[in-house]
Amino acid sequence: MEDFSDFEDDSTRGDALHQRKADIIEAMREDLAGMLDGGGDAGYTSAEIGECNRVLEAYLDTLDDADAGDEDAILAAMEFTVRALNSLNARCHGHLIDSDQRGPLRDLIVQAAREKGVGSGSDLTKPWREW
């Protein structure tokens, strides 16, 4: 049985981006639990969901500290985040970030940048994203 105790509950932070991240992570947990309850193998573990959570949290924290409109810093953080998620998903043979998570993850990353004044609705993750 998977142990979900390694997750930090940051949903109390209150802002919409952190809540969206918490919702994405919760959906991943629910998917994993459902697969395991059904006797299946998800292809990823709760530890990998925790790593995804930490990658996204680091991205949001980095953007919190970035100056508004600092395109170089914000795009660098975005690229690092997307590449980290690519690597994590590859280690899970593409199972961690499935079709249900792709859009919400992309939207979270892009919206966070937009709120800091970078991007105008286009998918800025596309040059690096493999999921």
- If one counts the domains in the chain, the total is 1
**Interacting residues of 126 by C-beta distance below 8 A, sequence separation 6+:** none
In a domain, 63, yes or no: yes
pLDDT at 1: 43
Amino acid found at 112: A
In a domain, 19, yes or no: yes
- Three-state secondary structure readout of 44-105: CCHHHHHHHHHHHHHHHHHHHHCCCCCHHHHHHHHHHHHHHHHHHHHHCCCCCCCHHHHHHH
In a domain, 8, yes or no: no
Domain extent for 99 = 14-115
Amino acid found at 107: D
pLDDT tens column, 77-99: 999 999 999 999 999 999 999 98
pLDDT tens column, 1-26: 444 444 444 444 449 999 999 999 99
In a domain, 7, yes or no: no
Average pLDDT of the residues in 39-58: 96
Of 6-10, 67-71, 126-130, least confident by mean pLDDT is 6-10
In a domain, 32, yes or no: yes
Question: Which pLDDT band holds residue 122 (cuts at 50, 70, 90)?
Answer: confident
